[in-house]
Amino acid sequence: MIGMPDIDLTKDRIRAAQIVLPCADINNELLFFVERLGFRVEMISPADAPSVAVVSGYGLNLRLETSGEKLPLVLRLGGDFSSLPFVAPREIVSPDGVRVQFFDAESLVEIPDGTQEFIVTTASGENAWSAGRAGMLYRDLIPGRLGDRFVASHISIPEGGEIPDYVHFHKVRFQMIYCIRGWARLVYENQGEPFLMNAGDCVLQPPEIRHRVLESSAQFEVLEIGCPAIHATHADHALTLPNDALAFDKIYGANQRFLHHVAAEAVWQDSQIKNIESRDTEIKRASDGLADVRLLQATAEASFPVNHRGEFLFYFILKGGLRLGGKAGEVYRLNANDCFVLPRDTSYLVEADEGLEMLRVNLPADNF
């Protein structure tokens, strides 16, 4: 039995309880509890390939965890344990073998140190589509996720119509969504009535802003980039959107504001690169300098070096193609829906075809 002398002080801080259920297939288990039994989703992580989900119903909170093993019963108790004047035990065991785990209900977002890697992901490669949250299909664009620091997902909703989504929020440091094709109707906390996000539009989702996807066109596709890679998505069943409050300039976590960039209202401008035009999404301003997101297009063939001094540089090809060359002489031919990540302090050469259009995301905003 571990840590029992301190349990009297610990129990005063318990606010919630979860029973852990190991699952061989978490998606099937979620469908069973939600659709057959009427439970509702409280949390899911990660959204692109769920391995953990919390559902509630009838006075129970169940934590579904992907596992191929049959494990002893686990009871998780959440509360405020971080402020205890001693190192509280994280697990104790009952006399009959029930494992009791303690977790902080309001834990901080942990950002892994991450890695710097050169990664090329092609649409014709091995990264197949997989089922994710709310019936969406996900394609992992950064295998390995740079040491779990960043995730980039190509998300597809093949069939249009209403989306079985719910009001939710993400425990993140950074998250943006760019619409590749089609449209979706979205609603965000404090931002008024639902609006359409069309191809070419993007949004910055500040940490923990409540939102919901209402409906989409057929063949709707978006690019979603987040930090950290593994983060929790929590449901907020108490809030109905749209809500009455309007606070368009509200500052959310990490000093960020919500932003909806509308492509139809944006202006292309000459960049510092010959034959390359740039479109600023203004995410640099809305994220308080954390990130910069721009569209680049080639008005004619162009050649230019790419490198950076920051933590993350990502390119996603929207139209056309390019050749990407490295110092070792390797050359990659990339086309629409292909992407690449570059490690810092390493220069590569881009040879762009006329008509190329791509999205560039870099953190921090000024990392060149």
pLDDT score of 1: 37
Q: Decide which of 354 and 92 is more confident.
A: 354
pLDDT score of 37: 83
Average pLDDT over residues 177-187: 98
Confirm if 220 and 162 have CB atoms less than 8 A apart: no
Find the distance separating the first CA and the last CA of the chain, reported in whole Å: 54
- Summarised one tens digit per residue, pLDDT across range 258-310 is 999 999 999 999 999 999 999 999 999 999 999 999 999 999 999 999 999 99
pLDDT score of 209: 98
Query: Got the DSSP string for 142-207?
Result: STTHHHHT-EEEEEEE-S-EE----SEEE--SEEEEEEEESEEEEEETTS-S-EEEETT-EEE--T
The candidate with the shortest Cα–Cα distance to 233, out of 260, 216, 210, 203, is 210
Q: What is the mean pLDDT of the chain?
A: 91
Is pLDDT at 336 greater than 70 in this prediction?
A: yes
Average pLDDT over residues 319-331: 92
Considering 66-70, 240-244, 328-332, the range whose residues carry the highest mean pLDDT is 240-244
Q: Burial code of 128-160, b = ≥16 C-beta within 10 A, e = fewer?
A: eeeebbbebbbbbbbeebbebbbbbbbbbbeee
pTM: 0.85
- Summarised one tens digit per residue, pLDDT across range 188-245 is 999 999 999 999 999 999 999 999 999 999 999 999 999 999 999 999 999 999 999 9
pLDDT score of 126: 65
Query: What percentage of the chain reaches a pLDDT higher than 70?
Result: 93
pLDDT score of 5: 40
- Domains with residue ranges and CATH for the chain: 4-104 (3.10.180.10), 119-261 (2.60.120.10), 265-363 (2.60.120.10)
Q: Burial code of 23-33, b = ≥16 C-beta within 10 A, e = fewer?
A: beebbebbeeb
pLDDT score of 196: 98
Is pLDDT at 328 greater than 60 in this prediction?
A: yes
- Summarised one tens digit per residue, pLDDT across range 96-122 is 677 888 888 777 789 999 999 999 999
pLDDT score of 325: 95
